[in-house]
Structure 1
Amino acid sequence: MSNHFVQFHANSCNYRIDLMLTSQRKSLILDLLRRDGQVVAKHIAEDFSLSEDTIRRDLREMAAEGLLKRVHGGAMPVAPELPDFSTRKGVSSEIKERLGKKAASLVRSGQLIFLDGGTTTAEIARQLPREFAFTVATHSPTIAAELEHHPTASVILIGGQLYKHSMVSVGSVAMAAISQLRPDIFFLGVTAAHPVQGLSTGDFEEAAIKRHISSCAAATYVPLTEEKLDRVSPCLILPIAGVSGLIVTADSAATAIEPYRNLTAEILEA
């Protein structure tokens, strides 16, 4: 066997080992992202006994593959896309129906509930009880319209500046009106949930008004489709510990839900 062949064979083995190690590193980086909500290139390099350049290259490649979002010095989980309201209507409709039924089952006679904007909360509106009276407050004209023919629900519509992407009122006028209410339950809509980074959305003003509604409510519950788990959007609403419960589907992956079970929020399965 020639020395040239031996050298080529050795290089091929090393190449395959390098590929495996790169794959292992990337898998570990994703595990860290799910656990911590962020990774710092310098810290990973120290933990793996590798150069920062190697880790930064891994992060660049993973960002190009859509696995994470590069930030200065490291990476964050991928922020979910924010399609417009009409596009979101047809997404996961069967799942949202199950979440809506579970959420609606929490409502009791005589309560004041507050429904956030969004397609999942629209499903809650459709599933609300019809055998007893209660009041629904909302800052979303589309949610109010869902209740046009509901036989027992009184509706309070909060006005203000319309944030068209989510079809909700935001700003000081909406804030002032909401301050006069004390809802028994607030059903909060979010675009992302992470056990460390909390509940978040894509707009600063929308995050502020969601946080304000929650502060006025006795209890806050968050319906979550599985694709929102372990994601982080730019604007924090609340930590997970800041809400009463998360509503998820019973068939959501156990590994995806497990980190949330260790927090103070109740986990309700639909």
Structure 2
Amino acid sequence: MQSLKHPGGPVLTAQRRDVLLERLRADGRVVAKDLAAELGLSEDTVRRDLRELAAAGLCQRVYGGALPASPAAGDLAARRTVAVTSKERVAAAAARLVTPGSTALLDGGTTALAVARALPPDLDATVVTHSPVVAAALVEHPRVELVLLGGRVFKHSGVACGAAAVEAADRVSADLFLLGVTGVHPTAGPTTGDADEAAMKRALARRAADTYVLASAEKIGAASPFTVLPLADVAGIVTDVDGDHPALVDLAAAGVPLLHA
């Protein structure tokens, strides 16, 4: 690639950032040192641009560079209009994992809500959730036994978090946990935007025999600040994204099972 050096320096700021964003889209990550050498820029310049892109919500900074930012990191109301069809496909596939007689932990968020709505009316199973919104969607389900875990409600995502919620989760033993996240990246793993929410998700995962990640299209290849689980602890990723997506290719190569919706 041609050097972006220019005597006027600052006039090329927008061009530099366009290159950084394109590289994030194409490669799924940016290594500041390598890209600075390739473009004929100082590493400080690349890092400064990445800081400004991160402040604008356009990337997620990590040690040595950056990853694509997740567009699913908004609040619950904002997420309701993002990738709706993709979430419905993922939800339909995930709902089939909840078998008769089983106990399933169901996370909060819009994809988990779609899972609740996709559970067949003749399903006889137990669903445990820390999301009042998800619980409300299941109140009128004719056969599902519903358990709601209480605690301080994190309004951004509409879920209970904190010590009381973790203590309640510790009393549960489940067959599977359907985990909602805001990003799934081969390097960062499953991520979310809040540290307490990530801790609550880990607490729920510890109570289930298997954890499956709900990954609609906007989450694949993206990252948020807080890793929820190592990829080795994931039983599978449920997604409707084509298997030739670079992030999914890398995840499959790492041995992560992919369940295509």
If the TM-score is normalised by the length of the shorter chain, which range does it land in?
Answer: 0.7 to 0.9
One-letter amino acid of the counterpart of residue 152, structure 2: Q
Distance in structure 2 (CA, Å) of the matches to 1:175 and 1:65? 33
Unaligned 5+ segments in structure 1 are 1-13
Question: Does residue 30 of the first structure (1) align with residue 21 of the second (2)?
Answer: no
One-letter amino acid of the counterpart of residue 130, structure 1: P
Compared CA separation, residues 94 and 80, structure 1 to 2 (3 A) = closer
Structure 1 residue 46, shift from structure 2 partner: 4.9
Unaligned 5+ segments in structure 2 are 1-5
How does 1:113-152 map onto structure 2 within 5 Å? 113-152=104-143
SS at match of 2:164: helix
Pairwise CA RMSD: 3.2
**Could you tell me the percent identity over the aligned residues?**
42
1:254 aligned partner: 245
SS at match of 1:175: helix
Task: Report runs of 4+ in structure 1 exceeding 6 Å deviation.
Answer: 21-25, 60-66
Compared CA separation, residues 132 and 59, structure 1 to 2 (3 A) = closer
Aligned partner (choices 190, 206, 227) of residue 199 of structure 1? 190
Structure 1 residue 269, shift from structure 2 partner: 0.9
Question: Does residue 184 of the first structure (1) align with residue 175 of the second (2)?
Answer: yes
1:78 aligned partner: 69
In the alignment, is the contact (CA less than 8 A) between 2:178 and 2:212 conserved in 1? yes
1:109 aligned partner: 100
Compared CA separation, residues 101 and 58, structure 1 to 2 (3 A) = same
SS at match of 1:180: coil
Structure 1 residue 148, shift from structure 2 partner: 1.3
Structure 1 residue 200, shift from structure 2 partner: 1.0
Higher mean alpha-carbon deviation, 144-153 vs 252-261, is at: 252-261
Tell me the number of residue pairs that the alignment of Structure 1 and Structure 2 aligns.
250
1:135-191 CA distance string (max 9 Å, x none): 000011111110111111000110011111111111111111111111101000001
Compared CA separation, residues 33 and 66, structure 1 to 2 (3 A) = farther
1:7 aligned partner: none
1:37-79 CA distance string (max 9 Å, x none): 552x334445677643564576578669975356786434324
Compared CA separation, residues 162 and 77, structure 1 to 2 (3 A) = same
Aligned partner (choices 154, 161, 168) of residue 145 of structure 2? 154
In the alignment, is the contact (CA less than 8 A) between 1:170 and 1:206 conserved in 2? yes
Question: Does residue 175 of the first structure (1) align with residue 169 of the second (2)?
Answer: no
Structure 1 residue 220, shift from structure 2 partner: 0.6
Question: Does residue 90 of the first structure (1) align with residue 81 of the second (2)?
Answer: yes
Compared CA separation, residues 44 and 112, structure 1 to 2 (3 A) = same
Structure 1 residue 97, shift from structure 2 partner: 1.4
Normalising to structure 2: TM-score of the pair? Answer: 0.81
SS at match of 1:75: strand
Greater helix share, structure number: 1
Compared CA separation, residues 72 and 162, structure 1 to 2 (3 A) = same
Larger radius of gyration: 1
In the alignment, is the contact (CA less than 8 A) between 2:154 and 2:161 conserved in 1? yes
In the alignment, is the contact (CA less than 8 A) between 2:72 and 2:82 conserved in 1? no
Distance in structure 1 (CA, Å) of the matches to 2:95 and 2:230? 23
Distance in structure 2 (CA, Å) of the matches to 1:108 and 1:215? 20
Structure 1 residue 255, shift from structure 2 partner: 3.3
